[in-house]
Every structure is written in structure tokens, then in C-alpha cells.
Amino acid sequence: MVSRSLIGILAGAAALALSAGGAAAQQKLKVGFIYVGPVGDHGWSYQHDVGRKAIEKAFGDKVETTYVESVPEADSERAIEQLARTGHGLIFTTSFGFMEPTLKVAKKYPNIKFEHATGFKRAPNLSTYAAKFHEGRYIIGQIAGKMSKSGTIGYVGAFPIPEVVAGINSYFLGAQSVNPNIKIKVVWANSWYDPAKEADAAKALLDQGVDIIAQHTDSPAPIQAAEARGKFGFGQASDMERFAPKAQLTAIVDDWSKYYVDRTKAVLDGNWKSQDVWGGIDSGMVVMSPYKNMPDDVKKMAEETEAAIKSGKLNPFKCPIAKQDGSQVECKGNGALSDEQVLGMNFYVKGIDDKLPQ
């Protein structure tokens, strides 16, 4: 107990020292970010950093932003708490694996607002947010179905978690909707960011006759492998055109800027509330980069599908959905699978000739 109160006194003294820095410094909101990969991954973490810069641009002197990169998930509690202790008022933790540590630190610092990406545990000062990337994957699935000459498309997955599995299913359903005989091959990289492994996975797919590569890993390595072999691919998280100008058909871009700016504004205005946001194409969180390297009719189809998803007319997981063994999935949403069903998806849809690692 003695040491605890001592820490309290020291913390209080530190806070006083900080607030003595003048009125301007006092009002400045410090916004912190925890990234799972390097900011230079040109994918997932890179896009979150783009969002961070958007906050700086939008609020200028009113905010100060900080990031800690390549934070191992099992060892993240300290990094999050470091941000909490250094006067940050709003903290974004941007990987699923940060869920428990974020929750622990949030409980300890009730006056600080926390935002955790892709998780499901919330608290009065802890929001969650994620994007419906599977909407974009349906579109690229259709493009792949049209563009594949070999009739076999490929997918480089990170981990067989629901978010990734839902992406594969959506991609395959999209492809199947334009080419009922399409086949898919999936290779797991077992890492979010490991360019060498990702490239190996893509090469293994190409060696097996795949001519279109989609990826759910963070580096441009898979699409670069497709480019090197004269095949096609899709950018992931970020527009990867500069890495594969001939191979990129389009990219599913995560655009966190608007969300980050909105949430920062909410804290500045004093009306931040804990919430759960799952934004799709209509929210602007999921953005399709320009459709390129494809014939006009494919481009037109893609644009129409995008518009249909945006307006809510098309849901990639509209019922009926059949599992691999042919059994129907119970339809818990309104004519489609419910959000919970998609968020917890752990089965492949019918037609995927592979076994889901479980």
C-alpha cells in the first residue's frame, strides 16, 4: 500500500509538472497509436499511420500524435500503458491481439479513451471499430472470376481467424457468381507481416496454376510475385499500384482517416462515447482503388457491384449460404447472415475444395 500511494503522489507531481507547462499545452490532446507491424509495411499499419497523419492535418496545433510500431501482441500491455501514462487522452490499438491488454489498461485509466480495432470487448472508455473488408472482397472475387484464364484463383491468408475466413468466402462467392466452375487455392502465411513468407506463399500458388492472387497479409510481396510472373493480383489494405503497376487490378484500401478524425473531434468536443463501429463501403472505411488492367466490361461490372453494395442492394452473404458439406447455414440476419455470424465465421462455403485449419 505504501508503494502504491507513493506512485500516486509521484504521478500527481508529474501531472502538475505537465500542466504547469501553460494553458496551450494543457489543452493539446495527445493521441497515441499502437501498431502491430512497422509503419513501413505499406499495408495494414501503414494505413493506420495515414489515419494518424490525417488527425494532425485536421486539427493542427490542437493535437499531438504519437505511435509505437512493431509491438508484439503478447507484450503490448506496457506499451499501451506507456501511452496512457504520458498524457495521451485518446489511444488507438490497431490489432486484434491487443484486445486483452487494451481492456486491462482501459480499466486502470478510466479517464482516458481507448479505441481497439477488430476486437469485441468493450468498456465505458473502450470502443471497438472494424471495417467490412469482405464487401470489397466480393468485388475482387467477381473480377478474379472474370479475369482468370486457368479457372483457378489463389488466396494468401494470414491466420485462419473469422475475419480472414469471411474474406475468403466472400471472395469465392463473388468469383462463383460470375463463373460457377471457378476453383480456389488457399495458402496460409501464418503471419500478418512477413514479406519472405508471403512471397513464398504466392509463388507456391502460382506454381499450382493459379493466375490471380488475392491476399490478406500486410506487405506487397504477394502482388509483387504476381507482377514478376506476368499474372494479376489485388492490393491489400493500401493502394499497392506502385509496387505492381501491371498486376494490380484494384486494391481494397482501408481508409481510417475519417473515423480517426471523427473520434478525435468527439474527444475534443467532449462527446466521445463508447461504441462498436463496423463500417463498409458506404461508410467510406472500405475504398476500392481505381479499376485497372482489365477490359471495360469487367470494369463496368465491378463498378456496378460496388454501387450495389454501397446502396445496400447487395450483401455478399445473402442467403442461402451453404457450407462445404452442402448443409444450409441458418439465416440469422435480414435475408443474409447476421453480423455476429460473419464476425464468428469458421467454415468454408460450398465449392471451396480445401480444409479449413482448425
Q: What is the binding site for other proteins (CB under 8 A)?
A: 1, 3-4, 6-7, 10-11, 32, 38, 66-70, 72-75, 77-79, 81-83, 85-86, 96-97, 100, 120, 159-162, 190, 343-346, 357-358
Cβ proximity to other proteins: between 76 and 215 the closer is: 76
Cβ proximity to other proteins: between 91 and 175 the closer is: 91
CB of 31 to other proteins, least distance (A): 12
CB of 161 to other proteins, least distance (A): 6
Cα 240 from Cα 237, distance rounded (Å): 9
CB-based burial, 46-80: b 16+ in 10 Å, e otherwise: bbbbbbbebbbebbeeebbbbbbbebebeebbebb
CB of 348 to other proteins, least distance (A): 13
CB of 358 to other proteins, least distance (A): 6
CA 165 to chain CA centroid, nearest Å: 13
Q: Calculate the dihedral angle through the C-alpha atoms of 69, 72, 76, 78, rounding to the nearest 10 degrees.
A: -80
Q: Are 254 and 131 in contact (CB under 8 A)?
A: yes
Cβ proximity to other proteins: between 181 and 358 the closer is: 358
The alpha-carbon radius of gyration of the chain (Å, integer) is 22
CB of 18 to other proteins, least distance (A): 12
Cβ proximity to other proteins: between 104 and 300 the closer is: 104
Nearest CA to 220 out of 186, 253, 244 is that of: 244
DSSP for 208-261? TT--EEEEESSSSHHHHHHHHTT-EEEEEES--TTT-TTTEEEEEEE--HHHHH
DSSP for 44-102? HHHHHHHHHHHHHHHHGGGEEEEEE-S--GGG-HHHHHHHHHTTEEEEEE-SGGGHHHH
CB of 219 to other proteins, least distance (A): 17
CB of 222 to other proteins, least distance (A): 21
Cβ proximity to other proteins: between 190 and 274 the closer is: 190
Cβ proximity to other proteins: between 11 and 25 the closer is: 11
Cβ proximity to other proteins: between 80 and 175 the closer is: 80
